[in-house]
Chains A and B, each alone.
Chain A
Amino acid sequence: MSDWRMKPESNRAVRVLRVVEEAEGVSTLYFRDPLCREAQPGQFVMVWVPGLEEVPMSLSTIDEESSITVKAVGPTSGALTSMRGGALIGLRGPFGRGFTIMGERPLLVAGGIGVAPLKPLLERMLTRGLKPTMILGAGTRDRLIFLRRFRELLGDRLHIATDDGSLGYRGLASEYAENLLEEHDFDIVYACGPEGMMAAVYRAAERFGLPIQVSLERYMKCAVGLCGSCAIGPYRVCRDGPVFDGDMLRRVLDEFGHRRLDPSGRPIQLENG
């Protein structure tokens, strides 16, 4: 028969190899999947928990063993974070347009669980001999994800921002990004985190005349560009995104950072929107 099962669209079950708790309610699930191994940083998979729902998740490791890093926010993500090695999950994907590595002096800005798609991007940049700088932000020091890994990889090119000042800069990662953009000579900015944070980083990058790529999150059903659930302006996040560059963001400024569609297709305001 044909190889239709080996296409990204095809549902396949994989066994979770191990689960690493990154913070309270945040876990990384490792698994082997030949299609994910070939993914681009920033691409996502649809992850099905049999008996519960299927949800979009960015790949947080792209390698022989790939991973997703999940924050418990509902029943399905909650079930994922409390899984153990040996559990079975369904995968579709990888889908969408990932990050494009450009420039020589990149700044990566990560907020909370938004760090997930930036991790494989950072790892690939290092493989290519680039010297990326990263701002890792979270509410408090215990919620900084991949802190040890990034310290090893980046040394003093890792900057920390916590809302409560328990580690590093006290304040928002986006504010700290503006400071760094002022002081240093970056030539591209990548960001992923709460959408208000990404919108602030976008505005800062625009002010400094720098290209930017951000990874957006929207409610998704089909994930293959058919149903329109994840529409933002003229784009489908699942197909044209999830990574948006400055040119694309400029066309959706009325929505970016402000609102998204609920499952019925009606707009709802984003928090901090």
Chain B
Amino acid sequence: MTKSIGLRPREGHPNPTVVHVEGGLLNAMGLPNPGVEHFLGELRRLKDWGIPVVASFFGETLEEFVEVASRLSEAGVDALELNCSCPNVEGVGVLGGDPGAVKRVTEAVKGCVDRPLFVKLSPNVSDIAEVGRAAERGGADGLTAVNTLRAMAIDVEARRPILSNVIGGLSGPALKPVALRCVWELYEEVEIPIIGCGGISTWRDAVEYLLAGASALQIGTAIMIRGLRVFREINMGLRRYMEEWGFKEVSEIVGLAHETRIQQGR
């Protein structure tokens, strides 16, 4: 899973771009990336090593989304994730709150790529299911839920916002209950698979997301505290959980909490 790639190189916002807050992390990186041309070289090396690559990408216009996605697809990425929800770059985040625009850009990209296309949704909307349905109607093969929540921090001694961009996105444990609710609502409304993310740090978090309806997971912020071993630790915990409760496939627990809720209601 790459950081988001755009058409041209971008330096991103000046530092400070990261603030540690209670229960999570704020970031306003500003989509720094070397541009799609340079990335294709890095992609070739990853492919040589046999590593599956999901490329996150963004554009500032519909045409840019299509061009970047086409080039990534032609170069052989295994899947694409359309980032229409970066909360701290003007223009890019706005798109994710407009169901009509999400449908249009999904449709346009889907028409030019022959790889699975996931759409990463923003939690900064009043009805995420509506945006999810729009992406599904646009032809998305899956949804990633969710990107970061708009947030900020102020240094009380310096008496000013810490992030150079003032506003950033909140990730980590504080985001988890919100993101989990988003996955839950999407699972009730869409047919396509959901990739859950937001504050997953332990195997219990992972199981919660699966029970809410996610069939795959992404982990980011937890690397800060737990290091790269967090992936192995969560896989091991998940395996133990499955064995303990007699599940053979992860798919058996995807969305399971929705069924047991109905049973409770009877």
Contact = CB atoms under 8 A, between A and B. Distances in A.
Given A1-B22, A221-B18, A11 B162 contact: yes
Contacts of B16: 11, 46, 48, 53-54, 90
B3 A10 contact: no
Interface in A1-41: 1-2, 4, 7, 9-11, 13
B164 A264 contact: no
B20 interface: yes
B220 interface: yes
A130 B68 CA distance: 57
Select the residue from B9, B32, B228 with max chain A CB neighbours within 10 A.
B32
Interface stretch (B86-94, B153-161, B199-207, B244-252): B153-161
Interface stretch (A104-112, A142-150, A226-234): A226-234
B11 interface: yes
Given A7-B20, A51-B160, A221 B155 contact: no
Interface residues of A, number: 34
A264 B33 contact: yes
Nearest to B162: A11
B18 A50 contact: no
Contacts of B11: 262-264
A224 B18 contact: yes
A207 interface: no
Contacts of A265: 9, 32-34, 38
A260 interface: no
B32 A229 contact: yes
A13 B19 CA distance: 13
B124 interface: no
Contacts, number: 101
A226 B23 CA distance: 17
A221 B25 CA distance: 13
Contacts of A55: 15
Given A50-B155, A226-B224, A90 B33 contact: no
A225 B227 contact: yes
A99 to B, nearest CB: 20
Contacts of A50: 155, 158, 160
Contact of B17 (A88, A222, A225): A222
Contact of B158 (A90, A222, A223, A263): A90
Contact of A264 (B25, B32, B153, B223): B32
Q: Which 5 A-B pairs have the closest CB atoms?
A: A13-B157, A50-B158, A54-B15, A263-B11, A9-B20
Interface of A: 1-2, 4, 7, 9-11, 13, 46, 48, 50-51, 53-55, 88, 90, 92, 220-229, 239, 262-266
